[in-house]
Structure 1
Amino acid sequence: MNTPAPHSAHASIDIGANLSHPRFSKDVDQVIYRAQQANISHIIVTGTCLESSTAAIALCQQYPDYLYCTTGLHPHDASQFNHQSYQQLIQLASHPSVVAIGETGLDFNRNFSSPEQQIHAFEQQIALAIELQLPLFLHERDAHQTQLDMLKHYRPQLVNAVIHCFTGDQQQCFNYLDLDLHIGITGWICDDQRGLSLRECVKEIPKHRLMLETDAPYLTPKTQPKPKLASKGRNEPCTLSYVAEAVALYSQRPLAAVVEDCAHTSRLFFGLS
């Protein structure tokens, strides 16, 4: 059994890392070790389909009290959602390492699944989160108004929800905050071109609504000095410090306070020990 890294005063929590992704299959233990050495006290492993959710739970069993996970069906895979998959999600979500339902939501950018299929799968996973009283781990791209309207309808019944990997503008951020939702910030904020809107609105996010994530293996922080990590172009949880530094810079807050507040918020949101 692997021993988790000890907690320290300013340990971070990565609320979204796709460690069951095939790009981590050969060296996930080393990836987790580097995260521990980078003073990350917990990682939430993202489940995006039945297969990845099952693999995430198995990984959590290898690292108890260090790894936790979500279980859900990404909007790209919504066409696969049916009664059988719903029953499988219920079974997966009963595992003690599962701390949220998702990644779920709407993505009208590429429409790998039709909007109608996405809405159906999303509604079913919202219902599951309500039934199990678990928070939602949300994805949204080019579907803000539709997703906002759905969340408004169900928000009184939801325990909590986080907009994972938020990349929208200030008005979209305010819309989600008005629903008392949490906001997850990734290395997108480190991008001088794509991250400008996020840099403008991050200072408006209350500290008790803000959390940090890497979305590894995606969204490697542009501020990370070269040479890059072991696998070219692959992001890892150990780069979370660059996200925290950017959040501190653009919210004009001390780095230690950002790390401490985000970790505290994450512990409360996911019910971590």
Structure 2
Amino acid sequence: MIDIGLNLTNPQFASDREAVLLRAQQAGVEAVILTGTDLDDSAAAATLAAGWPQFAYSTAGLHPHDARHWDAGSATRLRSLAAAPQVVAIGECGLDFNRDFSPRPQQEAAFVAQLELAVELNKPVFLHCRDAHARFTSLLAPYLRHLPGAVLHCFTGTADELSECLTLGLHIGITGWVCDERRGETLRALVPQIPAGRLMIETDAPYLLPRDLSPKPTSRRNEPAYLPHIAATVAALRGESCSALLAHTRATSRAFFRLDEVLS
């Protein structure tokens, strides 16, 4: 299985990053995509990924929370980062109108600039959208026919939003949110509607520890070793075997991020 969203540069992993990756491998995770959320973080993610060839890969981007830091040199630096073979997507980028840590006009400008860079570099995009669906899709739609792929990571939206995302051709990333019978109720009902070939799985670690893990971990920190639990939950909700789910999500993730083209 492949964890398409791991925030390994997060300070919560500062003391045991190698152990986290080793536990992931022992749990059956065959590849991880390390999420870049700002320019320094993206550089750190690329460096970490380079140390684990054929297992760890990374993205390079600026999260909407940090869009206020986008300037004339940001695209140049991202372009340079994206030239590394282990950097397989542009992002995490998009819009977040829930917290508005960056002003909305700056979020939109940084998002569009990264979409343009992804088109230029022929890289897929790793996307974030929270409470901004209409504006998010209106900005994204014109670029989709020029992009090799787009995945909306950590999808937690409505049925109508999922339908529009699928119509636009987006891939969908599902996290441990689906393991929460309270907050994840809507998502649990929608997971069967995502076609095989468009679905990927992720932890978004260290965030979103699956609520129904048993026995409960002593720490609230999520990690990729818990991806099998998420996968089993998703498979059960879809009414398919775990092996079938893992077969198609693995194939989808490898093809989307073009992992077989990355040189060791």
Q: TM-score range by the shorter chain?
A: over 0.9
Residue segments in structure 2 that go unaligned for 5+ positions in a row: none
Within the alignment, does 1:154 sit opposite 2:149 as a pair? no
Q: Is the 8 A contact 1:19 1:56 kept in 2?
A: yes
User: 2:184 aligned to 172, 181, 195, which one?
Assistant: 195
Note the C-alpha offset of 1:264.
0.5
Letter in 2 for 1:244: A
CA displacement 1:134-159 (0-9 Å, x = unmatched): 00000000000000111222211111
2:73 and 2:138 mapped to 1: Cα distance? Answer: 27
Which of the residues 232, 237, 252 maps onto 1:250?
Answer: 237
Please tell me whether residue 47 in structure 1 is matched to residue 49 in structure 2. no
RMSD value, Cα: 0.8
User: What whole-Å deviation, never above 9, does each CA across 1:117-173 have from its counterpart, x for those lacking one?
Assistant: 000000000000000000000000000000011122221111110000000111111
> In the alignment, residue 247 of structure 2 is paired with which amino acid?
E
Partner secondary structure for residue 103 of structure 1: strand
**C-alpha distance in 2 between matches for 1:68 and 1:226:** 30
Alpha-carbon offset, residue 226 of structure 1: 2.5
Deviation digits for residues 8-47 of structure 1 (CA, Å, limit 9, x no counterpart): xxxx000000001111111001000000000110000000
Match among 101, 110, 116 for residue 121 of structure 1:
110
Count of aligned pairs between the two proteins? 260
Cross-structure match for 2:228: 241
Residue 24, structure 1, aligned to residue 13, structure 2: yes
Letter in 1 for 2:93: T
Query: Structure 1 CA distance, aligned partners of 2:196 and 2:110?
Result: 31
The amino acid of 1:108's aligned partner reads F
- Write the distance in 2 (CA, Å) between the matches of 1:27 and 1:152: 40
Q: Secondary structure at 1:248's aligned position in 2?
A: helix
Deviation sequence 1:203-244 (CA, Å, 0-9, x none): 010010000000000000112113416xx2110000001111
Contact in 2 for aligned 1:223/1:242 (Cα 8 Å): no
Say which SS state the counterpart of residue 83 (structure 1) adopts: coil
CA distance in 2, matches of 1:119, 1:66: 33
Q: 1:1-273 to 2 correspondence within 5 Å?
A: 12-228=1-217, 232-273=219-260
Question: 1:158 aligns to what SS in structure 2?
Answer: coil
- TM-score norm. by structure 1 comes to 0.94
Contact 1:16 1:164 in 2 (8 A): yes
Distance in 1 (alpha carbons) for counterparts of 2:193 and 2:220: 31
Structure 1 runs of 4+ with >6 Å offset: none
